[in-house]
Structure 1
Amino acid sequence: MRGARAPRLPRRPLHGVLLLDKPIGWTSNDALQKAKGLLRAEKGGHTGTLDPLATGLLPLCFGAATKFSQASLDADKRYTATLHLGRTTTTGDLEGEVVEERPLDCDRAAIAAVLARFTGEIDQLPPMHSALKHQGRALYEYARQGVEVEREPRRVTIHALELLEWNAPTLVLDVVCSKGTYVRTLAEDIGRALGCGAHLSALRRTASGALTLAGAVTITELEAMTPEAREALLHPVDCLVADWPALQLGEADAGRFLSGQRRRTEHADAPAVRVYGPDPRAFLGSAHVTCGELIADRLLSPPEVASQLGIPATFSATPADAGIEA
């Protein structure tokens, strides 16, 4: 007779950001669901998809942090990209079939000259093997059926493109780019410009905005930890907007801000600011400043604010309970 299954532990409200070093072969959602289960978190989301063949930084948002995931989605990204020169594939990466192989006739000087051409604002044609939607379906679904869909070029910015290693046929690059950049397409375009073709053989994300791999944890490491150690890894909610200007409110204004009321401020006009209560640990939400008015955009609930101050998340806090006078 089989033993009874251990009871499943209940989910709980957790608020913060886990910096995960995603393993190769996992989808971003696979990684999210695994981490969410290990943390027993009620609510979670990721901040931008990493292809299964890519590894590296995947910030995972839990609880109140999900309200600010768009900031990470919009942030610049940094990658270590490994290109295989002289070989093109159907998908532009290792998953595809080899289309053509050509001899290499380039040196570091030629590579540096081509990289300079791809630094700054460039136009990219989204690849067919991508999740971009056309008439409600992902482009890769059409590609698997052998259907080519007409796509419009997209303007992206390559802020920096540095040659890290050249050991023919392998070229390793440090890429700092705007959101929406297809590094796979960049690899193919560089290969085409060099006259030999190329495909992306490995990709590792090293940064997303101000967040980096420093302190990131692997799934294997997370599995081996105690529940307390896992929870201790969570970064505060406001780490997603750490590069925005900060504004601190007194008790009365903080309570009114949390209720959605506009407040007068001497802060200069700004499209995005992070707002705190009288206790600097109490992140209240995001806002913008226009003509001397502080206007709320995304707000934390009083219980979410209270959780930052060490009050149990299950406690039904009011603004006053969180050190904020309503």
Structure 2
Amino acid sequence: MTLRPLTCALLLSGSATAFAQTVLTVSSWLPPTHTVSVSQQKWCAALEQESKNSLKCNILPKAVVAPPGTFDAVRDGLADISYTVDGYTPGRFVFTQVAEFPFLGDSSESTSVAYQRTYQKHFAPIGEHRGAKVLGVFTHGPGVIFNTKKPITSAADVASLKFRIGGGNISELSKAMGWNVTLKPATESYELLSTGVMDGTFLPDESLASFKLNMVKHVTRFPGGLYNSSFVFLMNADKYKSLTAEQKAVLDKLSGEYVARLFGQGWDALDKASREGAQVSQGVQQTAAPQAFVNEIKAKQSALEDKWAAAAEAKGLKNAKGVLAEFRAEIAKVK
């Protein structure tokens, strides 16, 4: 039987539709070797595999915007998928600060998974990230103090130097402590420290290697970290709505705790590698924060948590202090 041209065209069209592939534009503002970029690449590989090549990432060679503009860029469709630090846009996100408080835990994975559970239960229904499709939330590893000048063992030592910070609760805490800090993205740390504009930076352990901070001579650590940064992994909402039911199911499967564990495990591994490798070879002097220093921070943070609870409840969160306690208990439970 000879097929007519129109019949052939319809068959070919149906075949093309059956095997249509959706390519998602993915942006990353951290170096391609940074743990967040690597985890994003792994997520994209899982997406392609789980969707049987129906979904594929096109990871751009450079970010579509500077880090603070990422949320709006994804919301507005300049990229389909990316991540951002909530604290890079001061005052915009309140609930997310719960994951930024001091002394939460020593593992990015456990803090991230607990944060995701808390976020899904208490924060997502209120919609602070409205306008975008949230694929997951996570935190970096425990924040430390890096500097080029001297060992830091007290709040007064910090106050004598200039530091780069990433915003969020650590910005509020620094103000309360009377520290001289400037809000800048982590990607600017090398330039700020190498030129002497700043004496140090607040970051997790991995950053020494990730941002090639070879001028750093001292690090001070705190039990459970001085702070964390809250990250959101997000997608353009209209792009998500345009997908087939099967494609949405794959994305949903690779969202939530999957994201939190993937990014958290990657961060923990690189933190450990930095502590055991880069910091040792670089001769960075290690200092554990004395209990008196920790107590000074706790005293100031207590008032900040009261302030956060009031602000969160004003935006619709019920029993904010109870949510914070639940979050801390969840961190301890995560395996």
Q: TM-score range by the shorter chain?
A: under 0.3
> Hey, which of these two has a bigger chunk of helix by percent?
2
> Hey, which of these two has a bigger chunk of strand by percent?
1
Q: TM-score, normalised by structure 2?
A: 0.21
Pair member with larger Rg: 1
